[in-house]
């Protein structure tokens, strides 16, 4: 432990925390390591009572401080009554690159197949270009680890891409684009939290893609990319999550691009077709099912697939699985009963639902299961 002289920006952070604590609201979110966020760090309550852990990132981006504070100390710091506290200092800039172990990893979503163990540059280029195509419709975020556990976050929107280095030999970095731009766009991170991305952080996609390929090999974005030693506070804690931690929190990522979710992301939902391949007449759809009816259908479908050993469930709560599955059934369940193409597509989507480890059912299997589980 060392003595930490309270800087002005950390005191501002503590004032923000106190203001949040003093808002009369029983639904305040405090019990997570990043529940409280500021541009200089993050923190959260650690004992469900009055003790908090904060991470403060020094202005030089070379090191960070870890502080464990009681609520009274937080208030004293905010009021200017405390000018130093004990804290633990951690270096952010490594003196040498870590040993290469395993393969680079790319993650672009919360489900098991929203990821790829990268075997070659060619496969990585294809994966990056697929996400770029998908990002023309709405912004996409991806995280990329090198084999040495360097980590970069890329946010792609249309032709623009912002790059945020959260772990490397050189510390934090943010790509720098046209600084005259003052607007921003929003994207959700993998926990569903909104991230505002300034257009001033963005560079053209072709340059960003080259920089990502450079990063995988060398742990830096290359000399062509201008950077600043900062990153958004929402991304600060990502540097603590190496590839091993990321892999431990999800099922084993696919090792080939074809088994990932990327092909589905670029494939439109098919319309109903008949045996000759001609478009059929629209299917008559009965009165839409309510939430409880959809959940019951989803539960019966899971039970039927499980009985036939066509599904393998993970550790997720069954209610959460049925909720997600109910949304898919609401949108595509009826059509999939009459269209094999839609049933094949839906089978892939069900297999990607959080909590479902594997789905062995083919589109034809799923059609039968949908029809038999439709009514209780």
Instruction: Note the pLDDT tens digit of each residue in 73-117.
Output: 999 999 999 999 999 988 765 555 566 677 899 999 877 778 899
Is the pLDDT reported for residue 27 higher than 80? no
Q: What's the confidence (pLDDT) of residue 78? A: 95
**What is the average pLDDT score of the chain?**
83
Percent of the chain whose predicted confidence (pLDDT) is above 90: 35
Q: What's the confidence (pLDDT) of residue 267? A: 60
More confident residue, 24 or 215: 215
**Residue 222, Ramachandran bin (φ over 0: left; ψ between -120 and 50: alpha; else beta):** left
More confident residue, 299 or 255: 299
For residue 372, the 8-state DSSP code is: H
Report pTM: 0.58
Q: What's the confidence (pLDDT) of residue 273? A: 42
More confident residue, 266 or 132: 132
Is the pLDDT reported for residue 243 higher than 90? no
Is the pLDDT reported for residue 269 higher than 60? no
Angle at 264 between CA 261 and CA 268, to 5 degrees: 160
Q: What's the confidence (pLDDT) of residue 284? A: 45
Q: What's the confidence (pLDDT) of residue 256? A: 83
Q: What's the confidence (pLDDT) of residue 316? A: 67
**Distance in angstroms (rounded) separating the CA atoms of residues 7 and 9:** 6
Helix segments in 160-290, DSSP class H: 205-218, 243-248, 262-265
Tell me what the mean pLDDT of segment 274-292 comes to. Answer: 53
- Asked if 51 contacts 69 with a C-beta cutoff of 8 angstroms, the reply is yes
For residue 161, the 8-state DSSP code is: E
Q: What's the confidence (pLDDT) of residue 274? A: 42
Q: What's the confidence (pLDDT) of residue 332? A: 86
**Distance in angstroms (rounded) separating the CA atoms of residues 361 and 331:** 19
Is the pLDDT reported for residue 153 higher than 80? yes
For 327, the token pair is: 């949304």
Q: Judging by beta carbons within 10 Å of its beta carbon (0-12, 13-18, 19+), is residue 116 exposed, middle or buried?
A: buried
Q: What's the confidence (pLDDT) of residue 183? A: 94
Question: Tens of pLDDT along 60-80?
Answer: 666 788 999 999 999 999 999
Q: What's the confidence (pLDDT) of residue 87? A: 93
Q: What's the confidence (pLDDT) of residue 4? A: 92
Q: What's the confidence (pLDDT) of residue 137? A: 83
Tell me what the mean pLDDT of segment 8-36 comes to. Answer: 88
For residue 279, the 8-state DSSP code is: B
Is the pLDDT reported for residue 265 higher than 50? yes
Closest to 65 in 3D by CA, of 16, 3, 13: 3
> Residue 371: in which H helix or E strand, if any?
helix 363-373
Count the alpha carbons within 13 Å of 56 in the hemisphere toward its beta carbon.
24
More confident residue, 269 or 248: 248
Is the pLDDT reported for residue 315 higher than 50? yes
Is the pLDDT reported for residue 5 higher than 80? yes
Tell me what the mean pLDDT of segment 117-130 comes to. Answer: 90
The strand pairing partners of 113, in sequence order, are none
Is the pLDDT reported for residue 264 higher than 80? no
- CA-CA-CA-CA torsion sign (158, 162, 166, 170): positive
Q: Which residues contact 55 (CB under 8 A, 6 or more apart)?
A: 41, 42, 43, 64, 65, 66, 67, 236, 237
């Amino acid at each position: 432990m060392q003595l930490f002289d309270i800087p002005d920006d950390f005191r501002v952070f503590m004032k923000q925390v106190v203001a949040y604590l003093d808002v009369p609201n029983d639904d305040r979110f405090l019990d997570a390591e990043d529940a409280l966020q500021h541009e200089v760090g993050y923190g959260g309550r650690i004992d469900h009572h009055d003790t908090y852990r904060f991470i403060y990132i020094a202005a030089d981006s070379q090191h960070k401080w870890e502080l464990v504070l009681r609520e009274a100390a937080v208030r004293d710091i905010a009021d200017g009554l405390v000018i130093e506290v004990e804290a633990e200092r951690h270096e952010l800039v490594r003196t040498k690159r870590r040993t290469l172990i395993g393969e680079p990893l790319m993650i672009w979503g919360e489900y098991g197949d929203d990821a790829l163990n990268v075997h070659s540059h060619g496969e990585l280029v294809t994966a990056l270009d697929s996400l770029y195509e998908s990002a023309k419709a709405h912004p996409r975020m991806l995280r990329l680890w090198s084999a040495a556990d360097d980590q970069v976050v890329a946010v792609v929107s249309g032709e623009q891409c912002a790059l945020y280095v959260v772990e490397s030999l050189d510390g934090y970095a943010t790509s720098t684009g046209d600084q005259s731009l003052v607007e921003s766009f929003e994207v959700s991170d993998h926990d569903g939290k909104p991230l505002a991305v300034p257009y001033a952080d963005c560079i053209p996609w072709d340059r960003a893609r080259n920089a990502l390929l450079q990063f995988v090999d060398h742990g830096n974005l290359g000399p062509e990319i201008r950077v600043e030693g900062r990153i958004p506070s929402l991304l600060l804690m990502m540097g603590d999550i190496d590839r091993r931690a990321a892999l431990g929190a999800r099922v084993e990522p696919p090792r080939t691009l074809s088994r990932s979710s990327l092909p589905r992301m670029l494939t439109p939902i098919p319309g109903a077709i008949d045996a000759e391949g001609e478009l059929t007449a629209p299917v008559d759809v009965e009165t839409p099912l309510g939430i409880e009816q959809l959940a019951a259908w989803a539960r019966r479908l899971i039970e039927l697939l499980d009985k036939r050993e066509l599904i393998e469930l993970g550790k997720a709560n069954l209610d959460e699985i049925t909720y997600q599955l109910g949304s898919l059934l609401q949108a595509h369940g009826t059509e999939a009963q009459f269209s094999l193409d839609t049933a094949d597509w839906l089978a892939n989507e069900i297999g990607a639902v959080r909590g479902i480890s594997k789905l062995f059912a083919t589109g034809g299997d799923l059609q039968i299961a949908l029809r038999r589980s439709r009514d209780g």
